[in-house]
Amino acid sequence: MMDFFRSRYFPATLFAIAVHLLLVGLMVLGVSWPERPRDFELRPIQLEFANLQEMAPIPVPDPPVSESPPQAQPQQSSVEDQQALALRRQEQEDNERLERERREQEQEARRQAELQAERARQLEEERRQNQRRAEEERARQREEQRQEQERIANQQRLEAERQQELERQEQQRRAQEQERQQQAQAAEQAQAERAQRLAEIVARGSGTDTGVVGGSETSTNEPGLAEMHQALIRRQIQQAWRLPPTARSGMRVVVNIRLLPTGELREASIVQSSGNAEFDRSALDAVNSVNHFNVPRDPVVFENVFRSLNLDFDPEGLRL
Protein backbone atom coordinates (compact mmCIF):
# COMPACT_ATOMS: atom_id res chain seq x y z
CA MET A 1 0.00 0.00 0.00
CA MET A 2 2.79 2.41 0.81
CA ASP A 3 4.33 1.71 -2.59
CA PHE A 4 1.13 3.03 -4.23
CA PHE A 5 1.31 6.32 -2.24
CA ARG A 6 4.90 6.77 -3.40
CA SER A 7 4.18 5.85 -7.04
CA ARG A 8 3.65 8.34 -9.88
CA TYR A 9 -0.05 7.43 -10.10
CA PHE A 10 -0.95 8.72 -6.63
CA PRO A 11 -1.18 12.47 -7.57
CA ALA A 12 -3.51 11.73 -10.49
CA THR A 13 -5.74 9.56 -8.31
CA LEU A 14 -5.87 12.23 -5.62
CA PHE A 15 -6.81 14.85 -8.23
CA ALA A 16 -9.65 12.70 -9.57
CA ILE A 17 -11.10 12.19 -6.06
CA ALA A 18 -10.99 15.93 -5.42
CA VAL A 19 -12.88 16.62 -8.67
CA HIS A 20 -15.54 14.09 -7.69
CA LEU A 21 -15.97 15.66 -4.28
CA LEU A 22 -16.32 19.10 -5.88
CA LEU A 23 -19.03 17.88 -8.24
CA VAL A 24 -20.94 16.28 -5.38
CA GLY A 25 -20.75 19.51 -3.36
CA LEU A 26 -22.09 21.57 -6.25
CA MET A 27 -25.01 19.24 -6.74
CA VAL A 28 -25.89 19.31 -3.07
CA LEU A 29 -25.63 23.07 -2.61
CA GLY A 30 -26.72 24.48 -5.98
CA VAL A 31 -29.65 22.22 -6.95
CA SER A 32 -33.10 22.34 -5.28
CA TRP A 33 -34.56 18.93 -4.99
CA PRO A 34 -38.40 18.60 -5.81
CA GLU A 35 -40.83 18.00 -2.98
CA ARG A 36 -42.41 14.67 -2.61
CA PRO A 37 -46.12 14.56 -3.78
CA ARG A 38 -48.66 14.49 -1.02
CA ASP A 39 -50.59 11.37 -0.27
CA PHE A 40 -54.21 11.44 -1.58
CA GLU A 41 -57.08 10.41 0.68
CA LEU A 42 -59.27 7.76 -0.87
CA ARG A 43 -62.98 8.30 -0.26
CA PRO A 44 -65.94 6.03 -1.12
CA ILE A 45 -67.89 6.98 -4.24
CA GLN A 46 -71.72 6.83 -4.17
CA LEU A 47 -73.40 5.91 -7.38
CA GLU A 48 -77.14 6.65 -8.11
CA PHE A 49 -78.86 5.15 -11.08
CA ALA A 50 -81.25 7.47 -12.87
CA ASN A 51 -83.64 7.15 -15.78
CA LEU A 52 -81.78 8.13 -18.87
CA GLN A 53 -84.96 9.27 -20.60
CA GLU A 54 -85.95 11.55 -17.80
CA MET A 55 -82.58 13.02 -17.61
CA ALA A 56 -81.94 16.12 -19.57
CA PRO A 57 -78.90 16.25 -21.63
CA ILE A 58 -76.04 17.62 -19.80
CA PRO A 59 -74.25 20.21 -21.71
CA VAL A 60 -70.69 19.24 -22.34
CA PRO A 61 -68.41 22.01 -21.45
CA ASP A 62 -65.56 22.88 -23.72
CA PRO A 63 -62.34 21.27 -22.77
CA PRO A 64 -60.22 23.62 -20.86
CA VAL A 65 -57.19 24.87 -22.46
CA SER A 66 -54.37 22.87 -20.97
CA GLU A 67 -51.57 24.90 -19.71
CA SER A 68 -48.09 23.67 -20.26
CA PRO A 69 -46.61 22.26 -17.08
CA PRO A 70 -43.68 24.01 -15.70
CA GLN A 71 -40.44 22.92 -17.34
CA ALA A 72 -38.21 23.63 -14.42
CA GLN A 73 -38.53 20.22 -12.77
CA PRO A 74 -37.75 18.10 -15.91
CA GLN A 75 -34.78 20.36 -16.67
CA GLN A 76 -33.63 19.99 -13.14
CA SER A 77 -34.01 16.19 -13.32
CA SER A 78 -32.10 16.08 -16.64
CA VAL A 79 -29.19 18.04 -15.17
CA GLU A 80 -29.08 15.69 -12.20
CA ASP A 81 -29.10 12.69 -14.51
CA GLN A 82 -26.34 14.17 -16.59
CA GLN A 83 -24.31 14.92 -13.49
CA ALA A 84 -24.88 11.43 -12.16
CA LEU A 85 -23.99 9.98 -15.56
CA ALA A 86 -20.87 12.11 -15.73
CA LEU A 87 -19.97 11.03 -12.23
CA ARG A 88 -20.47 7.40 -13.11
CA ARG A 89 -18.44 7.82 -16.28
CA GLN A 90 -15.70 9.56 -14.36
CA GLU A 91 -15.71 6.81 -11.76
CA GLN A 92 -15.67 4.20 -14.51
CA GLU A 93 -12.81 5.95 -16.25
CA ASP A 94 -10.98 6.25 -12.95
CA ASN A 95 -11.57 2.61 -12.25
CA GLU A 96 -10.43 1.66 -15.75
CA ARG A 97 -7.39 3.89 -15.42
CA LEU A 98 -6.58 2.41 -12.03
CA GLU A 99 -7.10 -1.05 -13.47
CA ARG A 100 -4.77 -0.22 -16.38
CA GLU A 101 -2.23 1.19 -13.97
CA ARG A 102 -2.52 -1.90 -11.83
CA ARG A 103 -2.04 -4.16 -14.86
CA GLU A 104 0.86 -2.05 -16.03
CA GLN A 105 2.40 -2.25 -12.59
CA GLU A 106 1.92 -6.01 -12.58
CA GLN A 107 3.41 -6.27 -16.07
CA GLU A 108 6.30 -4.05 -15.04
CA ALA A 109 6.80 -6.14 -11.92
CA ARG A 110 6.74 -9.34 -13.99
CA ARG A 111 9.12 -7.79 -16.50
CA GLN A 112 11.49 -6.73 -13.75
CA ALA A 113 11.21 -10.18 -12.19
CA GLU A 114 11.96 -11.78 -15.57
CA LEU A 115 14.90 -9.42 -16.10
CA GLN A 116 16.23 -10.25 -12.66
CA ALA A 117 15.73 -13.97 -13.30
CA GLU A 118 17.45 -13.69 -16.68
CA ARG A 119 20.29 -11.70 -15.15
CA ALA A 120 20.60 -14.28 -12.38
CA ARG A 121 20.62 -17.07 -15.00
CA GLN A 122 23.29 -15.25 -17.00
CA LEU A 123 25.38 -14.71 -13.88
CA GLU A 124 25.02 -18.37 -12.96
CA GLU A 125 25.95 -19.44 -16.49
CA GLU A 126 28.93 -17.08 -16.45
CA ARG A 127 29.98 -18.45 -13.08
CA ARG A 128 29.74 -22.01 -14.39
CA GLN A 129 31.71 -21.11 -17.51
CA ASN A 130 34.41 -19.41 -15.40
CA GLN A 131 34.53 -22.42 -13.13
CA ARG A 132 34.75 -24.79 -16.10
CA ARG A 133 37.49 -22.69 -17.70
CA ALA A 134 39.37 -22.59 -14.40
CA GLU A 135 39.09 -26.38 -14.09
CA GLU A 136 40.25 -26.82 -17.69
CA GLU A 137 43.18 -24.48 -17.07
CA ARG A 138 44.16 -26.41 -13.93
CA ALA A 139 43.86 -29.69 -15.84
CA ARG A 140 45.97 -28.25 -18.68
CA GLN A 141 48.64 -27.08 -16.23
CA ARG A 142 48.67 -30.49 -14.54
CA GLU A 143 49.02 -32.19 -17.93
CA GLU A 144 51.85 -29.85 -18.91
CA GLN A 145 53.59 -30.52 -15.61
CA ARG A 146 53.17 -34.25 -16.11
CA GLN A 147 54.51 -34.08 -19.66
CA GLU A 148 57.42 -31.90 -18.54
CA GLN A 149 58.28 -34.32 -15.75
CA GLU A 150 58.01 -37.22 -18.17
CA ARG A 151 60.19 -35.38 -20.69
CA ILE A 152 62.82 -34.65 -18.03
CA ALA A 153 62.73 -38.25 -16.85
CA ASN A 154 63.10 -39.53 -20.41
CA GLN A 155 65.92 -37.08 -21.06
CA GLN A 156 67.72 -38.16 -17.91
CA ARG A 157 67.19 -41.81 -18.83
CA LEU A 158 68.47 -41.26 -22.36
CA GLU A 159 71.44 -39.30 -21.05
CA ALA A 160 72.26 -42.08 -18.61
CA GLU A 161 71.97 -44.67 -21.40
CA ARG A 162 74.13 -42.51 -23.65
CA GLN A 163 76.77 -42.19 -20.95
CA GLN A 164 76.67 -45.91 -20.37
CA GLU A 165 77.01 -46.53 -24.10
CA LEU A 166 79.92 -44.09 -24.32
CA GLU A 167 81.61 -45.76 -21.37
CA ARG A 168 81.02 -49.18 -22.92
CA GLN A 169 82.38 -48.01 -26.27
CA GLU A 170 85.34 -46.39 -24.56
CA GLN A 171 86.07 -49.57 -22.66
CA GLN A 172 85.69 -51.56 -25.86
CA ARG A 173 87.95 -49.14 -27.71
CA ARG A 174 90.55 -49.33 -24.98
CA ALA A 175 90.36 -53.10 -24.98
CA GLN A 176 90.67 -53.17 -28.76
CA GLU A 177 93.50 -50.68 -28.69
CA GLN A 178 95.27 -52.71 -26.06
CA GLU A 179 94.71 -55.88 -28.07
CA ARG A 180 95.87 -54.13 -31.24
CA GLN A 181 98.97 -52.87 -29.49
CA GLN A 182 99.67 -56.32 -28.15
CA GLN A 183 99.20 -57.81 -31.60
CA ALA A 184 101.36 -55.11 -33.14
CA GLN A 185 104.02 -55.67 -30.56
CA ALA A 186 103.89 -59.40 -31.14
CA ALA A 187 104.03 -58.87 -34.92
CA GLU A 188 106.89 -56.41 -34.53
CA GLN A 189 108.71 -58.77 -32.27
CA ALA A 190 108.21 -61.64 -34.70
CA GLN A 191 109.24 -59.44 -37.59
CA ALA A 192 112.28 -58.21 -35.69
CA GLU A 193 113.25 -61.75 -34.88
CA ARG A 194 112.83 -62.72 -38.54
CA ALA A 195 114.82 -59.71 -39.68
CA GLN A 196 117.52 -60.57 -37.20
CA ARG A 197 117.67 -64.13 -38.46
CA LEU A 198 117.85 -62.87 -42.05
CA ALA A 199 120.64 -60.48 -41.11
CA GLU A 200 122.52 -63.29 -39.44
CA ILE A 201 122.09 -65.46 -42.52
CA VAL A 202 123.32 -62.66 -44.77
CA ALA A 203 126.29 -61.99 -42.50
CA ARG A 204 127.33 -65.65 -42.37
CA GLY A 205 126.71 -66.60 -46.01
CA SER A 206 128.72 -66.09 -49.22
CA GLY A 207 128.01 -63.53 -51.90
CA THR A 208 126.04 -65.80 -54.29
CA ASP A 209 124.37 -67.77 -51.57
CA THR A 210 123.31 -64.86 -49.42
CA GLY A 211 122.21 -62.48 -52.18
CA VAL A 212 124.66 -59.73 -51.11
CA VAL A 213 127.35 -58.72 -53.60
CA GLY A 214 129.75 -55.95 -52.74
CA GLY A 215 127.53 -54.93 -49.86
CA SER A 216 124.42 -54.64 -52.06
CA GLU A 217 121.30 -56.73 -51.79
CA THR A 218 120.42 -59.17 -54.58
CA SER A 219 117.18 -60.72 -55.61
CA THR A 220 118.17 -64.16 -54.26
CA ASN A 221 116.38 -63.49 -50.95
CA GLU A 222 113.65 -61.21 -52.44
CA PRO A 223 110.68 -62.69 -50.51
CA GLY A 224 112.43 -62.44 -47.15
CA LEU A 225 113.79 -58.97 -47.83
CA ALA A 226 110.41 -57.66 -48.98
CA GLU A 227 108.71 -59.07 -45.92
CA MET A 228 111.34 -57.52 -43.67
CA HIS A 229 111.06 -54.07 -45.25
CA GLN A 230 107.27 -54.23 -45.21
CA ALA A 231 107.41 -54.91 -41.49
CA LEU A 232 109.74 -51.95 -41.04
CA ILE A 233 107.45 -49.63 -43.05
CA ARG A 234 104.42 -50.86 -41.10
CA ARG A 235 106.21 -50.13 -37.85
CA GLN A 236 107.14 -46.62 -39.00
CA ILE A 237 103.51 -45.79 -39.86
CA GLN A 238 102.10 -47.37 -36.69
CA GLN A 239 104.41 -45.27 -34.57
CA ALA A 240 103.19 -42.14 -36.36
CA TRP A 241 99.50 -43.04 -36.42
CA ARG A 242 97.27 -41.33 -33.83
CA LEU A 243 93.93 -43.13 -33.61
CA PRO A 244 91.10 -40.50 -33.43
CA PRO A 245 88.40 -40.61 -30.69
CA THR A 246 85.76 -41.26 -33.31
CA ALA A 247 87.37 -44.54 -34.34
CA ARG A 248 85.02 -47.48 -33.98
CA SER A 249 85.34 -51.18 -34.50
CA GLY A 250 84.67 -52.12 -38.12
CA MET A 251 86.07 -48.94 -39.67
CA ARG A 252 88.51 -49.50 -42.53
CA VAL A 253 90.38 -47.15 -44.87
CA VAL A 254 92.79 -48.23 -47.62
CA VAL A 255 95.59 -45.76 -48.48
CA ASN A 256 97.80 -46.15 -51.53
CA ILE A 257 101.35 -44.77 -51.25
CA ARG A 258 103.82 -44.32 -54.12
CA LEU A 259 107.47 -44.26 -53.09
CA LEU A 260 110.72 -43.20 -54.69
CA PRO A 261 113.81 -45.49 -54.72
CA THR A 262 115.33 -43.14 -52.14
CA GLY A 263 112.51 -43.99 -49.66
CA GLU A 264 110.79 -40.61 -50.03
CA LEU A 265 107.00 -40.38 -50.35
CA ARG A 266 105.88 -39.35 -53.80
CA GLU A 267 102.08 -39.49 -53.36
CA ALA A 268 99.46 -40.78 -50.91
CA SER A 269 95.77 -41.16 -51.71
CA ILE A 270 92.70 -42.85 -50.28
CA VAL A 271 91.58 -45.86 -52.31
CA GLN A 272 88.68 -46.86 -50.06
CA SER A 273 87.16 -44.52 -47.45
CA SER A 274 85.88 -45.59 -44.06
CA GLY A 275 83.01 -43.11 -44.19
CA ASN A 276 84.51 -41.15 -41.29
CA ALA A 277 86.47 -38.11 -42.43
CA GLU A 278 88.46 -37.83 -39.20
CA PHE A 279 89.50 -41.48 -39.33
CA ASP A 280 90.55 -41.13 -43.02
CA ARG A 281 92.52 -37.97 -42.29
CA SER A 282 94.37 -39.65 -39.41
CA ALA A 283 95.61 -42.38 -41.80
CA LEU A 284 96.86 -39.83 -44.34
CA ASP A 285 98.53 -37.80 -41.60
CA ALA A 286 100.36 -40.92 -40.37
CA VAL A 287 101.70 -41.63 -43.88
CA ASN A 288 102.72 -38.01 -44.53
CA SER A 289 104.50 -37.74 -41.18
CA VAL A 290 107.12 -40.38 -42.11
CA ASN A 291 110.16 -38.58 -43.51
CA HIS A 292 111.91 -41.60 -45.02
CA PHE A 293 110.52 -45.05 -45.61
CA ASN A 294 112.78 -48.05 -45.13
CA VAL A 295 112.84 -49.53 -48.64
CA PRO A 296 115.31 -52.12 -50.02
CA ARG A 297 118.21 -50.93 -52.12
CA ASP A 298 117.68 -53.66 -54.66
CA PRO A 299 115.94 -51.95 -57.64
CA VAL A 300 114.24 -55.18 -58.70
CA VAL A 301 112.70 -55.73 -55.25
CA PHE A 302 111.73 -52.06 -55.04
CA GLU A 303 110.03 -52.03 -58.44
CA ASN A 304 108.24 -55.30 -57.82
CA VAL A 305 107.02 -54.59 -54.28
CA PHE A 306 107.63 -51.07 -52.97
CA ARG A 307 106.99 -48.75 -55.89
CA SER A 308 103.26 -48.75 -54.98
CA LEU A 309 101.85 -50.07 -51.70
CA ASN A 310 98.27 -50.36 -50.37
CA LEU A 311 98.04 -49.82 -46.61
CA ASP A 312 94.92 -51.18 -44.85
CA PHE A 313 94.10 -49.10 -41.74
CA ASP A 314 91.56 -50.26 -39.14
CA PRO A 315 91.30 -49.69 -35.36
CA GLU A 316 92.63 -53.22 -34.74
CA GLY A 317 95.86 -52.71 -36.67
CA LEU A 318 97.68 -51.86 -39.90
CA ARG A 319 98.17 -54.35 -42.72
CA LEU A 320 100.12 -54.21 -45.98
> What is the per-residue pLDDT across 46-88, written as a single tens digit (0 to 9) for each?
545 444 444 545 555 555 554 555 554 556 678 888 888 889 9
pTM: 0.34
Cα separation values, 110 from 105, 116, 123, 237, Å: 8, 10, 19, 107
**Domain 218-319: which CATH class?**
alpha beta
Residue 9 has pLDDT above 60, yes or no: yes
> What is the per-residue pLDDT across 258-288, written as a single tens digit (0 to 9) for each?
999 999 999 999 999 999 999 999 999 999 9
Where exactly are the structural domains of the chain? 9-21+97-175, 218-319
How many of the other CB atoms lie within 10 Å of CB of 239?
A: 12
> What is the per-residue pLDDT across 297-306, written as a single tens digit (0 to 9) for each?
889 999 999 9
What is d(CA 243, CA 278) in angstroms, rounded to the nearest whole number? Answer: 9
What is d(CA 274, CA 253) in angstroms, rounded to the nearest whole number? Answer: 5
